[in-house]
Structure 1
Amino acid sequence: MEIFYYMVFGALAAVVAGLELSKSNKDRINTSSAFNSFKNNYLLVYSLMMAGDWLQGPYVYYLYSTYGFGKGEIGQLFIAGFGSSMLFGTIVGSLADKQGRKRACVTYCITYILSCITKHSPQYKVLMIGRVLGGIATSLLFSAFESWLVAEHFKRGFDPQWLSLTFSKAIFLGNGLVAILAGLFGNTLVDSLNLGPVSPFDAAAIFLAIGMAIILSSWTENYGDPSENKNLLTQFKGAAVAIASDEKIALLGAIQSLFEGSMYTFVFLWTPALSPNDEDIPHGFIFATFMLASMLGSSIAARLLARNAVKVESYMQIVFVISSASLLLPILTNFFIPPSVVKGGGISFAGCLQLLGFCAFEACVGIFWPSIMKMRSQYIPEEARSTIMNFFRIPLNIFVCIVLYNVSAFPMTFMFGMCSIFLFVASILQRRLSAIGDKPKTEEWMLKDKSSEAEPLNA
Structure 2
Amino acid sequence: MEAFYYLVFAALSAVVFGVEISKTTKDRINTSPAFNSFKNNYLVVYSLMMAGDWLQGPYVYFLYTTYGFGKGEIGQLFIAGFGSSMLFGTIVGSLADKQGRRRACVTYCITYILSCITKHSPQYRVLMIGRVLGGIATSLLFSSFESWLVAEHNKRGFDQQWLSLTFSKAIFLGNGLVAILSGLFGNFLVDTFQLGPVAPFDAAACFLAIGMAVILSSWTENYGDPSENKDLIAQFRGAAAAIASDEKIALLGAIQSLFEGSMYTFVFLWTPALSPNDEEIPHGFIFATFMLASMLGSSIASRLMARSSPRVESYMQIVFIVSSASLLLPIVTSFLVAPSKVKGGSMSLSGCLQMLGFCTFEACVGIFWPSIMKMRSQYIPEEARSTIMNFFRIPLNIFVCVVLYNVNAFPITVMFGMCSIFLVVASILQRRLLVIAEKQKTEVWEMKERDNEAEPLNI
Q: Deviations over 1:53-103 (max 9, x none)?
A: 111222333333444444444332221111111111221122111111111
Distance 1:261 1:167 in 2: 21
Q: Report what 1:454 is aligned to.
A: none
**1:46: how far off?**
0.2
CA contact (8 A) 2:273 2:412 kept: yes
1:283 aligns with 2:283: yes
SS of 2:281's partner is coil
**Is the deviation greater in 341-350 or in 386-395?**
341-350
Q: Report what 1:135 is aligned to.
A: 135
Distance 2:133 2:37 in 1: 32
Q: Report what 1:17 is aligned to.
A: 17
Q: Report what 2:453 is aligned to.
A: none
Distance 1:38 1:240 in 2: 32
Summarize the Cα distance change of 1:281–1:258 in structure 2 as closer, same or farther, 3 Å threshold: same
Q: Deviations over 1:12-69 (max 9, x none)?
A: 1000001111111011101100000000000000000011111122233333344444
Q: Report what 1:226 is aligned to.
A: 226
What aligned pairs does 1:7-406 form with structure 2 within 5 A after superposition? 7-406=7-406
Q: Report what 2:412 is aligned to.
A: 412
Distance 1:379 1:253 in 2: 11
CA contact (8 A) 2:186 2:284 kept: no
Q: Deviations over 1:182-235 (max 9, x none)?
A: 122222223333333332222211111111111111111111101111110111
Q: Report what 1:457 is aligned to.
A: none
Summarize the Cα distance change of 1:344–1:70 in structure 2 as closer, same or farther, 3 Å threshold: closer
Distance 2:274 2:194 in 1: 28
Distance 1:336 1:157 in 2: 56
Distance 1:224 1:441 in 2: 27
CA RMSD of aligned residues (A): 1.8
**Is the deviation greater in 411-420 or in 310-319?**
411-420
Summarize the Cα distance change of 1:50–1:308 in structure 2 as closer, same or farther, 3 Å threshold: same
Which amino acid in the other structure matches residue 4 of structure 1?
Answer: F
Summarize the Cα distance change of 1:152–1:423 in structure 2 as closer, same or farther, 3 Å threshold: same
Summarize the Cα distance change of 1:131–1:278 in structure 2 as closer, same or farther, 3 Å threshold: closer
SS of 1:309's partner is coil
Distance 2:359 2:159 in 1: 34
Summarize the Cα distance change of 1:268–1:198 in structure 2 as closer, same or farther, 3 Å threshold: closer
Distance 1:122 1:267 in 2: 22
SS of 1:438's partner is helix
Q: Deviations over 1:76-132 (max 9, x none)?
A: 222111111111122112211111111111111111112222233344333322221
Distance 2:115 2:343 in 1: 39
Summarize the Cα distance change of 1:22–1:195 in structure 2 as closer, same or farther, 3 Å threshold: same
Which amino acid in the other structure matches residue 87 of structure 1?
Answer: L
Q: Deviations over 1:148-197 (max 9, x none)?
A: 00111111111111100110111111111111111222222233333333
Q: Deviations over 1:303-345 (max 9, x none)?
A: 0011122200000001011111111122222223333444444
**1:253: how far off?**
0.4
Distance 1:46 1:264 in 2: 20
Summarize the Cα distance change of 1:276–1:199 in structure 2 as closer, same or farther, 3 Å threshold: closer
CA contact (8 A) 2:187 2:285 kept: no
CA contact (8 A) 2:72 2:408 kept: no
Which amino acid in the other structure matches residue 59 of structure 1?
Answer: Y
Summarize the Cα distance change of 1:439–1:101 in structure 2 as closer, same or farther, 3 Å threshold: farther
TM-score, normalised with respect to structure 1:
0.92
Distance 1:297 1:70 in 2: 34
SS of 1:81's partner is helix
Summarize the Cα distance change of 1:75–1:355 in structure 2 as closer, same or farther, 3 Å threshold: closer
**Is the deviation greater in 26-35 or in 179-188?**
179-188
Distance 2:119 2:330 in 1: 35
* Structure 2 unaligned spans of 5+: 443-459
* Structure 1 unaligned spans of 5+: 443-459
What aligned pairs does 1:413-432 form with structure 2 within 5 A after superposition? 413-432=413-432
Distance 2:280 2:129 in 1: 35
Distance 2:76 2:270 in 1: 21
SS of 2:438's partner is coil
Which amino acid in the other structure matches residue 317 of structure 1?
Answer: Q
Q: Deviations over 1:395-450 (max 9, x none)?
A: 111111111111111122211111111101100000010111134499xxxxxxxx
**Is the deviation greater in 16-25 or in 277-286?**
277-286
Distance 2:5 2:201 in 1: 28
Q: Deviations over 1:263-312 (max 9, x none)?
A: 11112222333333444433322211111100000000000011122200
Percent sequence identity is 86
